[in-house]
Structure 1
Amino acid sequence: MTGRLVAVNLGGVTEAEWAGDPSGRSGIDKRPTAGRVAIRFAGVLGDFIGERAHHGGPDQAVYAYAEEDAGWWATELDRAVRPGAFGENLTTYAVDVTGAVVGERWAVGSALLEVTKPRTPCTTFAGFWGVPDLVKRFTVRAAPGAYLRVLREGEVGAGDPVEVVDRPAHGVTVGEVFRATTLEPALLPRLLDVPELPEPLRAKVRRRLDTAGR
């Protein structure tokens, strides 16, 4: 399966009252950049990350969102939604991001990326968009985009193919993980069968299941 990159987006420093970081700074306002961009194990070179307690790190090094899902929001909110508006590094086309299996690998440019988990919406996101109930609406829509870890550093650029080169047999998708951890807790036991899921999230799932007396 092969899609392509519509844009590679980098965030500068935005200072705002809605920024989640105690310093009042956020990197959510990402904009398309021209040319090739370096992807490192720690993230996208030149991309500012504000609230590092919840963003960034090896399991959230890169964030991808589908142009098709952005188009849905443009219609829903009756407003233009440009690449990077979701705080994503990679805007994709013809890539089933919500249906991506956790642990599947994408060859993009000279980099190799692995899908790890969905993005969880936050109040910073709602503040940036100026839509107070965005977190609730984003959760109900359940098209969260995907975080990726970097297995091979490289360079990427707009127009590069996005090729799914490996897909685990367990079949648990980004969308299923998102629904399990938000609106459909009955799905939580499925997540324990996903070795590629980041350990902090697996631990959270175990705690919730233990509390529920599974």
Structure 2
Amino acid sequence: MQHRSVKYKSWLWSLFYGGCTLAAIMLAGCEKEPVAAAANVGVQTIPLHDTLRKIITENILLTNNHPWYIEGWVYVSNEATLHIEPGTVIKIITPLSAYGKESGGGLVITRGAKIVAEGLQHLPVLFRLNDTTCNTGWKGIILLGKAPQTGAGKVLENISSLTGSTGLAYGGHEPEDSSGIMRHVRMEGMELLLRGTGSRTVITDITIQPTGNKPYHLKKVSLP
């Protein structure tokens, strides 16, 4: 009887440990899918070439280990995010127009897309002209959001170097829309234009020095 009792207890312990092992395998299998899904959130690509051109349709990271160049107008679209590390230097190349004059250039953050340029107080993100003698054409950064537009709305149509500028949509019915973050940014030879930019957009500690004019500082921009 004692021999049978020992066998019975051994069988029970085997069943118990086997069940625990199976449960552990099932739990591990259940956890894999959410972890993998979370890893794909916020995936960023570092461009292979140092010059950005035309249209950006995926999340891009610009690192601060070398200068980057923007040729003409570059559009961030498809609800992508352009992320820029502190201390990054970005130079604007203004190509010649059909009339042989230097045209404008810069960044256009379209509706739904974002820029995250978060510099530090002593390590700002720097945008500057590659050729500081260029004094023709509008150059700068344009943020287009989904918030109700206040003030003049025809400025974009006056920037002749923007390809199809009248087709760039901005404004809407989302006052809390966000076009991203620009903090501790310095812009030399350039300007900043906000159109339909929502209240969740952060614009603070921006130093702007347009060509031929004195620099001015935006401590914090209050948006509708």
- TM-score, normalising length from structure 2? 0.27
Q: Which has the higher contact order (CA 8 A, sep 6+)?
A: 1
Q: Which has the higher helix share?
A: 1
Q: Which has the higher strand share?
A: 2
